[in-house]
Amino acid sequence: MDFNESTTKINLARSFSAECQAGARYQFISKIALSDSQKFLSDTMKTLAKNEMAHAKVFYDYIIEKSAGKSKNIGIEAGYPFESPELKTSLNSSAETELSEAKNIYPSFAKIAYDEGFDDIGKSFEMVARVEETHYEILDYLSKLYKSGNMYKRKIPTKWKCSLCGYVENAKNGFKECPLCKAPQGFIIIDIEKEDTK
């Protein structure tokens, strides 16, 4: 199938748009988190923003490569989220958007790409879907912790590490202020991959 006539081309443009916007929104959230002294949250959102921009680049590059200069302007019509970046709502709404990308949008774009004969693009959509699922897990977990006021409270002793000076303490509750460098609690790293996030 001719790429320039394909639905996949439009889907790539929509995906590029969505990823750029997610990258922007996550940077907005990152700034708000920082103004709330939530350094770890802020850094996490910055990392997710970086991931989204990398996804945007994958989609952009496909359009440039496959359209061979014949699609200089692509019109798209799609709905995109515009929600307040305040932490008590934005972490959760971002998690939901990630889940819908992971479970619905990208798998369906992958299927269309395979049907139209663009296997390489189909594979990329599937790989991005898997990343968005991990984003969902991170955001869903952080949203629950933040809303319950339990960012730095656990039922069992946990390793709490200051991201600024590296001081480590094992306790149920993270230190309110780093005993060594006096950084606020929000600087403590939450080891999301090691915690049970379900």
**Helix (H) or strand (E) segment spanning residue 160:** strand 153-162
Q: How far is the CB of 171 from Fe ion (least distance, A)?
A: 32
Site string for Fe ion, 110-149 (x = CB under 5 A): ----------------------x--x--------------
Q: Which stretch binds Fe ion (CB under 5 A): 3-11, 12-20, 38-46, 142-150?
A: 12-20
- Nearer Cβ to Fe ion (48/178): 48
- What number of residues does the chain have? 198
- Nearer Cβ to Fe ion (56/162): 56
Residue 49: other Cβ atoms inside 10 A: 19
Nearest to 142 by CA among 84, 85, 80, 191: 191
Q: How far is the CB of 108 from Fe ion (least distance, A)?
A: 15
* 14 binding Fe ion? (CB under 5 A): no
Q: How far is the CB of 71 from Fe ion (least distance, A)?
A: 22
Among 9, 14, 39, 55, binds Fe ion (CB under 5 A): 55
Among 15, 45, 52, 113, binds Fe ion (CB under 5 A): 52
Q: How far is the CB of 90 from Fe ion (least distance, A)?
A: 14
Phi and psi for 165 in degrees, rounded to 5?
A: -110, -10
d(C-alpha 193, C-alpha 85), whole Å: 25
Q: Residues binding Fe ion: what is the number (CB under 5 A)?
A: 6
Q: Which residues pair with 162 in a beta bridge?
A: 188
Instruction: Name 98's Cβ contacts closer than 8 Å, sequence gap at least 6.
Output: 132, 133, 135, 136, 139
DSSP string for residues in 45-71: HHHHHHHHHHHHHHHHHHHHHHHTTS-
Q: How far is the CB of 52 from Fe ion (least distance, A)?
A: 4
- Nearer Cβ to Fe ion (23/186): 23
Q: List contacts with Fe ion (CB under 5 A).
A: 19, 52, 55, 98, 132, 135
